[in-house]
Amino acid sequence: MAKEKPDLVYGTLDMLILKALQHNPRHGLGIADRIQQMSQDILRVEQGSLYPALYRLEAQGWITAEWGVSDNNRKARYYKLTSAGRKQLAAEKDHWLRITKGIDLVLSGT
């Protein structure tokens, strides 16, 4: 039996996080939930992957974070997309579409 592969393709998590933050600031769990919702429950982001990615994106200036209070009245860090993050999201989306088109051409070829 073949080994099951992880749901996320290497290098796509940053793009998915940026997309999840495109319209509204969200806390970490809210980002993971949004990705799962947008993917119709196909993609699930584990905390062990999510938080290192958030710290990396913040260090690159693509997101900012500030403390706030969640819906269940707990202190949480809310992440927000910066203008540099919006540009990065557009660039990553264009790259993704180009790469997946190429892969699709190879797979559908004879």
Sheet holding 75-81, edge to edge: 26-27, 75-81, 63-69
Query: Domain 13-108 has what CATH class?
Result: mainly alpha
97 pLDDT higher than 60? yes
Residue ranges per structural domain of the chain: 13-108
Does 7 score more than 80 pLDDT?
no
Please write the tens of the pLDDT for every residue from 71-88: 889 999 999 999 999 999
